[in-house]
Amino acid sequence: MADLHLLFNHVLTKEQIREAEDVFRVKDVYTLPPRLSALWAEVSPRGELDKSHLAPIERWLTEKAQEGDYVLVQGECGATFYMVDLCFKRGLVPIYATTDHPGAGRGAHHDDHVVRGGHFGHVNFRRYSRYDD
């Protein structure tokens, strides 16, 4: 049985936990410690991606996760790509949650900003795929 490690700034719903256990046979779920969760939430949108900002999260994941474990990776796009790539290189299985927002689009544009609101429902977890897979 594998474990699930969360690089994710939300709390899993009961439905998501049940899916992780039933579909992926996850034994334990590990969340980022509060200090690392704050780092994951505060990736700067300015300039190039600061990999040193992610280094403590990378260390946590490397120390905690074993080959074959699942890692739910969702966050800032560049940081997400970086950590998904790390997962592939370390033999971990990166996944993400798909959602549905019935009756509404993903966002409305207003004065050069995207406004999102409403409720998003969990659909399922999906493995990240490499281009050559």
How distant is the alpha carbon of residue 75 from its chain centre? Answer: 6
* Assigned domain for 43 exists: yes
pLDDT tens digit sequence for 26-76: 999 999 999 999 999 999 999 999 999 999 999 999 999 999 999 999 999
What is the domain range of residue 28?
2-127
This prediction has a pTM of: 0.84
* Assigned domain for 110 exists: yes
* Assigned domain for 132 exists: no
pLDDT tens digit sequence for 45-57: 999 999 999 999 9
C-alpha distance from residue 107 to each of 10, 43, 70, 117 (Å): 20, 22, 29, 8
* Assigned domain for 64 exists: yes
Contacts of residue 86, Cβ cutoff 8 Å, sequence gap at least 6: 58, 61, 92
* Assigned domain for 82 exists: yes
Domains: count for the chain: 1
* Assigned domain for 133 exists: no
* Assigned domain for 12 exists: yes
